[in-house]
Amino acid sequence: MPRKWFFFALGLLVHAALPMRAQQQQPWATVAQALGRAGEERDGVYRVAFPRSDLRVKVGSVSVRAGLALTSWAAFQKHSQGAMVMGDLVLAAAEVAPVVSGLAEGGVEITAVHNHLLGEQPRVMYIHFHGHGDAAVLARTLRGALARTGTPLGTPRASSAAGPAGGLDLERLSSLLGHRGAVRSGAVAFGMPRAEKITGGGAELGPRMGLGTVINFQAEGSGAVTTGDFVLIAGEVQSVIRALRDQRIEVTALHNHMLDEQPRLFFLHFWGRGPAEELARGLRAALDLTNHRKP
C-alpha cells in the first residue's frame, strides 16, 4: 500500500474510533453535563451531591450543617434499559409538591416522602426516587425538578482538605466505628455497606445507590451531634432500636426508601447529642448487631 494511502486509512480508523471512545465514556459525561456538575464514579456507581447550603435549619439549639443531614444526592448505575437512578432530595415543605410533579412528569418514580429529623425548624422533608432509561434524560428530569427548589445548582466551591471538622477527631472516630470516615460539608461522614447481595428494579444494586448505613457527626460545643440512618433487614430492627435507646440515642424515623428491593430493607434514622466518643461507641454497639461488611 502506498504510504499516503496507509496514513489515509489510519486516519479513517482513528476518526471511526472517536465516537466509540465517546460512547464508552457515556453515560456519565452526559449526566454531568445535564446536571451542571460532575460527580464521582466508584464501584460501578456515579454519584452526584447537592448540599442544601441555602437552608438554615435548627434542631433545638443546633444549627444543622449540610454535611450532617441536608445534602441531596443522585446515584446512577448501568442497567439493561440504559441506566438506573436512585436518590434522596432534601426539601423545604413548600418544595415537595413541585418536585413530585417535576419527577413524575419525567417518568421518575417517587418511592418515599417522609421526615428524617424531629423538631427541626423550618420543617424539612425527604423525597426518594427511582428511574430507568436514558441516563441523560433521567439527569435532565432531575435537574428540572431541582430547579423548582432553592438548591444551589452552580459549581460548588472546593471543599476543604480532609482533616478534623470543628475539632472532631476523624482518626479516633474511625477507630471506634471500625470504618474509615471522611470530612464532607462541615461534618464527619461514614458509610458502611450491607454484606448481602441486594437487588431492585431488575438489577443488583451497588452499595453507593443508598444501601449503606450512614453515620454523620457534627461538632457542637464541647461535644457533637450525630444523625444518619441504619439500613436493616426486618430481624435487626428491634435489636438496633434497643441498642440505640440504651445509649440514649433517639430513633427519629423508621420507614422504606425503595419499593421492590430484595431482601426487604428498613431505614432507621437517629439523633444523638453528647461527647463524640460516647456517641461513636453507642453507634458501634448497634452496628455490631447488623450484617454489614467488615472494613
- CATH number for the domain including 170? 3.30.70
Neighbours of 230 (CB within 10 A): 27
CB–CB of 194/41 below 8 Å? Answer: no
State the pLDDT at residue 3: 55
User: What does the DSSP assignment read for the chain?
Assistant: --HHHHHHHHHHHHHHHHHHHHHHHTTHHHHHHHHTS--EEETTEEEEEEE-TT--EEETTEEE-HHHH-EEEEEEEEETTEEEEEEEEEEEGGGHHHHHHHHHHTTPEEEEEE-SSSSEES-EEEEEEEEEE-HHHHHHHHHHHHTTS----SPPPPPPPSS-STT--HHHHHHHHTS--EEETTEEEEEEEBSS--EETTEEPPGGGT-EEEEEEEEETTEEEEEEEEEE-GGGHHHHHHHHHHTT-EEEEEE-S-SS-BS--EEEEEEEEE-HHHHHHHHHHHHTTS-BPP-
| Residues 64 and 194 occupy one common structural domain | no
Domain boundary among 158, 177, 207: 158
In a domain, 243, yes or no: yes
Tell me the pLDDT of the chain (295 aa) as tens digits: 555 554 444 454 444 444 444 444 455 999 999 999 999 999 899 999 999 999 999 999 999 999 999 999 999 999 888 899 999 999 999 999 999 999 999 999 999 999 999 999 999 999 999 999 999 999 999 999 999 999 999 877 655 444 446 789 999 999 999 999 999 888 999 999 999 999 998 889 988 999 999 999 999 999 999 999 999 999 999 999 999 999 999 999 999 999 999 999 999 999 999 999 999 999 999 999 999 988 7
| Residues 180 and 266 occupy one common structural domain | yes
In a domain, 244, yes or no: yes
| Residues 200 and 239 occupy one common structural domain | yes
State the pLDDT at residue 292: 94
In a domain, 76, yes or no: yes
In a domain, 8, yes or no: no
Judge residue 157's burial from the number of C-beta atoms within 10 Å of its C-beta, 0-12 exposed, 13-18 middle, 19 or more buried: exposed
| Residues 249 and 121 occupy one common structural domain | no
In a domain, 4, yes or no: no
State the pLDDT at residue 159: 53
State the pLDDT at residue 167: 85
State the pLDDT at residue 84: 94
| Residues 171 and 237 occupy one common structural domain | yes
| Residues 167 and 295 occupy one common structural domain | yes
In whole angstroms, give the CA distance from residue 271 to residue 269: 7
State the pLDDT at residue 168: 94
Look at the chain and report how many structural domains it folds into.
2
CB–CB of 117/61 below 8 Å? Answer: no
| Residues 151 and 174 occupy one common structural domain | no
Domain boundary among 158, 179, 198: 158
| Residues 38 and 154 occupy one common structural domain | yes
Domain boundary among 123, 158, 193: 158
State the pLDDT at residue 158: 58
State the pLDDT at residue 155: 76
In a domain, 228, yes or no: yes
In whole angstroms, give the CA distance from residue 177 to residue 191: 10
In a domain, 38, yes or no: yes
CB–CB of 217/276 below 8 Å? Answer: yes
| Residues 136 and 172 occupy one common structural domain | no
Residue with C-alpha cell 435489636? 239
Residue-range definition of the domain harbouring residue 71: 27-158
State the pLDDT at residue 40: 93
In a domain, 15, yes or no: no
| Residues 227 and 263 occupy one common structural domain | yes
State the pLDDT at residue 1: 52
Q: Which amino acid is at 90?
A: V
